Each structure stands twice: as structure tokens, then as C-alpha cells.
A and B are shown apart, each in its own frame.
Chain A
Amino acid sequence: MEGSSKVIHAMYTDDDVLMAAVKKVRAERYHIEEIYTPFPVHGLDKAMGLAPTRLAITSFLYGLAGLVVSIVMINYMMIEDWPQNIGGKPSFSYLENMPAFIPIMFELTVFFAAHLMVITFYLRSRMWPFKKAENPDTRTTDDHFLMEISAGDNVDEQFDILRNTGAVEVTLIDKAH
């Protein structure tokens, strides 16, 4: 039922069993709140019906930003502010000097894309410094998989379904304690 603070925690010990369970539970039209796994399970996001991530798009934009920053920076340092004659290369033209700058352009593109993407990922996953772990059961950091389902009107029926999908442990949790 909507608005209920009660959830059911079902524990699994195998990712394949978990995948099959996710499909079963979704077919029964129960709402999966969250799944905690000790490692990334391939295809779990699709099975859960999560919207595809937009992280790749942000990464591309960050890379572009890095590229622009590198071009502006090198142009200012090496061409405008303090032109230097290195190896007899034309020191007053960005374009003619570009082969020498490409490694820096590449590195800054990668640097911006990688770091900003990781920071975005942490923020989007609501993970920041001094954040308290949301993990409901420490065994999910070792070898257990936990599926959290909002409890409906008929909890006993939900328990049966979850046990039939191969859950090793099913518990009712009241979150509003």
C-alpha cells in the first residue's frame, strides 16, 4: 500500500537466483524499492526496469569542457603570454604548433571527463563525505544480495512468493521506528 513505511527484506545468496527473482517479483507487480549487492550484477538495471543512466552524456560534456580548457590554457601560456622557441617550432601560431599540444589536450580531456564523472556519480548516488551508510544489512557487502520490497496489504502472500523465488531469509521491517 502506498505510504506504508513497512518494507520486506529478502536475502539471496546467488546473483542468478536474484535475477530470476527480480523478474518474478516484477511480474507479480510488486514495487522493488532497492537492491543491495556485493558487486555489480550485469543486466540487473534492465531487469529492474530502471531508466538508462545519463552519466555517459555528462561524461562527454565534461570531456568537451576539458578540451576547451586545455586549448584556451595552452594558447594563453604558449602563444600569447610567453611564446617560447622550442626545437625551432613556430612559436606564434597555435595551429602550426598543434601537434605538440595534442598530448596535453588529450590528457586534460580525459582528466576532466574522468574526475567530474566520478564526482557526478557519487553525488547522484547520494554519497558524499561523512555520509552514513544506507546499507540495511552488512552481509550484502560480503556474499548476500538483498531485495527491498514495499509491503502490501497481504504480507503473507508476499512472503510466500519471495520464499518460492529462492530467498534464504525474508523479514518484515518497519522503517518508521
Chain B
Amino acid sequence: MYTISNRLKTFSIILIVLGVLGVAYGFMTSHKSLEEVKTMLVEEHAHDGGHETSVQEHTESAGSEHADVSQDDKHAKHVQEQIAKRPWSAMYVSALFFMTIALGVLAFYAIQIASQAGWSPVLFRVMEAISAYLLPGAIIVILLAVGSHYIGHHNEIFVWMNPDVVADDKLIQNKSGYLNITAFLIRAIIFIGGWCTYWYFARKFSIAQDNAEPGDIRNFKKSFRIAAGFLVFYLYTESIMSWDWIMSVDPHWFSTLFGWYVFSGMIVAGITVIAMVAIYLKGKGLLPLVNDSHIHDLAKYMFGFSIFWAYLWFSQFMLIWYANIPEEVVYFVSRIEDYKLPFFGMLVLNFVFPFLILMHSDYKRVPWFVMMCGVVILIGHYVDLFVMIMPATVGDRWYIGIPEIGSILLLGGLFLLVVFTSMTKAPLTPKGNPFIKESENFHY
């Protein structure tokens, strides 16, 4: 039986405390009055050395002094809202990041069971523990999404929740039968309820199979059946979840590939975390049955799904870039103009780096190598989610500063605490699984 070490516990609590401080700082500095924002804008304008532009603007607007003032006010108000949205969005990106890891691991776990994979049962308890974060993680995501509307003024992550915006927007009005808070919450409850019910029973049958009589595999059969059912449910709900929780930050924009794209990101991040946790536990001698070949297989999945992610990212990008239809291409225009470094940088982190590093078969068997590559992939997928959410909420007022890092520390600490506490609840080797012998002897 695994017991959470005091060092790990203290470490996660320190992360949470530092995170709370960072997030609190973010929220305290995000409320600027309109006057403050205006002075800030003027200063920025002067800073840009924008002599020519200001002269030009002045001559252009010389005829209508009044309109210019109201335009300035409108712009300042917009910037004020963007600044107020930043700590919420920072929290939201981190919350999504850890929630999708747990969800990706749960899907991977269900695939292993439904396909009756022989190599992976020694890792099942690791996967069960990581996906234990799904319930708290998904609830945090929903609380942030809806909380940003009800708490504070005009700082919602989803603009379609703001009745003032919807009143002036024909396109959102047409979608309001789907995009409204009640429907959003009902769908969220169905998704989270379905996923967590599956997790609860999968875990229950997995432990029950350990304690069953030899030769009694009824629990194994039950877990197989619910895994197959869950995968069907997951395929639909994951796609709808990605529209609801991520794509609708840009309520005018849509992409039919989006669900797959989000899925590819969550599955590669999830497998990476499985590999990292497995290597950590193996390093402590707690997973004696896990051998190099298991790490090799996980690293192969990391390699393969990184390419899968790049394939879907490119499929979405190239079609929209080529067709160049204004309402579609606006999504990439705003990202390339304001987010050039993270937008193209994540291609290096998520595709080029794992592709070149994990290509050689021997390197996939070296634990510290996989660990290092895993860190890069996880950073890449944080940036991926960052670039999905931030352009719609804070626009060009983004920075990876205290609010963002604080959010990662806070939720990362919580993630570690939940995952490793769940790990203590059951033996780390599912000894009753009928495939455990095959998994133990697995060598490629």
C-alpha cells in the first residue's frame, strides 16, 4: 500500500499556498478604474513613440471631436474589461489544463480495458489515481466559467454570458438557445456526472477484482462492459465539452475539427503524466513490476500522439488559412498578430521537440529522458490551452506573469494532492487482473 510521503505533501501544500498568493495578487491588481486605464493607455501610446500615428489620428478625427472622445471611452472600457478578465482567464486555463489531463487519462484507461490490453494492467492504479482529479477539476472549471459572470462586473470568460453583449449581437442571439447559462450548466452536469460515474464504478470493480476468488473474473467482465459504454459516451461528450468550455469563448467562430483537436491535446498530456508518475513511483521502488518496456510503450504513445496533435492542429489551420473566409480566419489572425511567440512556439514544444527527441527507440527507455521530454510536452499543452482561451478574453493584454504562474501552482498543488491521496487508497498492483501476469512479463 502506498503512503503519501511527507515531503510530497509539504511540497504540494507549499505550491497551493504560493499559488493562492499569486492568484490573490492577480485579482487585487486587476480592478482598474476607467481613469487609470486611460492614463495607462496614454502612457503606452507615448511609449510606443507613436508620433506619426497620433498626428495622423488627430487629423483624421479633427472633424468629429465628440465621436473621438466616445471612441476613446469605448476603447478604454474594453481594455478595462480585458484587464479584469486576466486573473479569471489565467485560473481557467490552468483549471482546464489539469482537468483535461485527468480526463485524457480516464479515456486512455477505458481504451486499455475495452481493448483488453495485456501490457498495461501494472499501470492501472496509476491511471485510476490520476483520473481521480477529474471530479474536483471539472467542478473547478465550471465554477470559474460561471463564477466569472456572477462575481465582479463585466469580467466573464464567456462573452455570451453577458446580456449587454448579446443584446447587440445578432449572431449570439441566434445561438442563445444553445449558448445560455442554464443549458450550459445542464450539459456540464451530464458530462461530469457521466464521466465520474464511470470512474467510480471502474475503480470499484478494479478493487473488487483484487479481492475476488481465484478464477472469478465477473468484476473484470463488468469493468470491460462499462469501459466500452463509457467510450461511446465520452466520444460525444468530449466533443460537446470542447465546444462548450473552450470553443465558445469565441462565440462567432466555429471549427468542426475542434473536438478532435482538444482530444489529441488531452490524450498526449494524459499519457505524459502517466509516464511521469510511473517513473517517479518506480524510482522510489513502489512499482517493481513496471519495466523498461512499459516506459518504452508510454513514450511511444507520447511520440505518436504528439504527431497526431500536430496533424490535427495543421488540418484545422491549413483549411482555414487556405479558404481565407473572414469569419473563420479571424481566429488565426488574432492569434498570429498578438500571440505570435506562443502560437508558433507551441508547435516546437508539442511537435518538433518530441518528434526529434523521442524518435530513437533507445531513448524511449531512458527514464530521465522521458521525464524531460514530458516536461516540455506539458508546457507545450499549457501554452496550447493558453492560446485557445486568452485571445478571446484578454486580447493583446496577455503575459505569463504572477496570475498565470500562481494559478498553475495552486491547481498543480491541488492536482498532486488529490492524485497521490487517491493513490494511497488501493494497492499499487492490481493483482486480481487476469492480464497481470502478461503485463508483468511484457517485453517488446
Contact = CB atoms under 8 A, between A and B. Distances in A.
Given A56-B361, A60-B359, A100 B322 contact: yes
Contacts of B324: 87-88
Given A56-B361, A99-B317, A102-B314, A42 B322 contact: no
Contact of A100 (B318, B360, B361, B444): B318
Contacts of B444: 42
A102 B319 CA distance: 12
B318 A99 contact: yes
B321 A99 contact: yes
Interface string A34-45: 000000001100
A83 B30 CA distance: 51
Interface in A37-83: 42-43, 56, 60
A87 B319 CA distance: 12
Interface string A118-133: 0000000000000000
Nearest to A100: B322
B51 interface: no
B397 interface: no
A102 B318 contact: yes
Most B CB contacts (10 A, CB to CB) among A42, A56, A89, A99 go to A99
Contacts of B314: 99, 102
A103 B310 CA distance: 12
Nearest to A89: B322
A102 B443 CA distance: 37
Nearest to B320: A99
A67 to B, nearest CB: 13
Interface in B390-444: 443-444
Contacts of B359: 60
Interface in B308-337: 314, 317-318, 321-324
Nearest to B318: A99
Nearest to B444: A42
Interface in A98-115: 99-100, 102-103
Given A99-B317, A102-B314, A87 B361 contact: no
| Range, interface on chain B | 10 to 19
A89 B360 CA distance: 38
A43 B444 CA distance: 7
Contacts of A56: 360-361
A66 B359 CA distance: 18
Interface string B281-324: 00000000000000000000000000000000010011001111
A56 B360 CA distance: 8
Contacts of B323: 87
Contacts of B318: 99-100, 102-103
Contact of A43 (B321, B360, B443): B443
B40 to A, nearest CB: 35
Interface string B50-85: 000000000000000000000000000000000000
Contacts of A43: 443
Nearest to B321: A99
Contacts of A60: 359
A99 B444 CA distance: 38
Nearest to B317: A99
A87 B318 CA distance: 13
B359 to A, nearest CB: 7
A100 B322 CA distance: 7
Interface in B352-389: 359-361
A135 to B, nearest CB: 27
A117 to B, nearest CB: 14
A87 B323 CA distance: 7
Contacts of B321: 99
Contacts of A89: 322
A103 B317 CA distance: 13
Contacts of A87: 322-324
A119 to B, nearest CB: 21
Nearest to B361: A56
Contacts of A100: 318, 322
A103 B319 CA distance: 12
B322 to A, nearest CB: 6
Interface string A84-96: 0001110000000
A60 B361 CA distance: 13
A56 B324 CA distance: 40
B322 A99 contact: yes
Contacts of A88: 324
B381 to A, nearest CB: 22
A54 B183 CA distance: 58
A89 B359 CA distance: 34
A3 B23 CA distance: 79
A87 to B, nearest CB: 6
A100 B360 CA distance: 29
8 contacts: A56-B360, A60-B359, A87-B324, A88-B324, A99-B321, A100-B318, A102-B314, A103-B318
Interface of B: 314, 317-318, 321-324, 359-361, 443-444
Given A88-B324, A99-B314, 17 more contacts: A42-B444, A43-B443, A56-B360, A56-B361, A60-B359, A87-B322, A87-B323, A87-B324, A89-B322, A99-B317, A99-B318, A99-B321, A99-B322, A100-B322, A102-B314, A102-B318, A103-B318
Interface of A: 42-43, 56, 60, 87-89, 99-100, 102-103
- Of all A-B residue pairs in the complex, the 8 with the closest CB atoms, nearest first, are A99-B318, A99-B321, A87-B322, A100-B322, A102-B314, A87-B324, A99-B317, A43-B443
